[in-house]
Amino acid sequence: MQRNTSGQPTVRDAVVDLMRRLGMTSVFANPGSTELPMFRDFPEDFRYVLGKR
């Protein structure tokens, strides 16, 4: 897990860690510009399904 400059995990990494602990394997999303950093280089152990409007 990556850490920010204060030594705390980043929000992105904390969310990915939580999803793993909950047993999630797929993520369905239609991200906008504010969510792109969350889904950029998404971990390969998740199946990412892009939703359409």
How confident is the model over 25-37, as pLDDT tens digits? 999 988 888 888 8
* C-beta atoms surrounding 48 within 10 Å: 13
Predicted TM-score (pTM) above 0.75: no
The pLDDT assigned to 2 comes to 60
pLDDT tens-digit profile of 8-27?
888 899 999 999 999 999 99
Residues 11 and 18: beta-carbon distance below 8 Å: no
Distance CA 21, CA 31 (A): 23
Between these two residues, 9 and 46, which has the higher pLDDT value? 46
Across 25-51, average pLDDT: 89
35/29 Cα distance (integer angstroms): 10
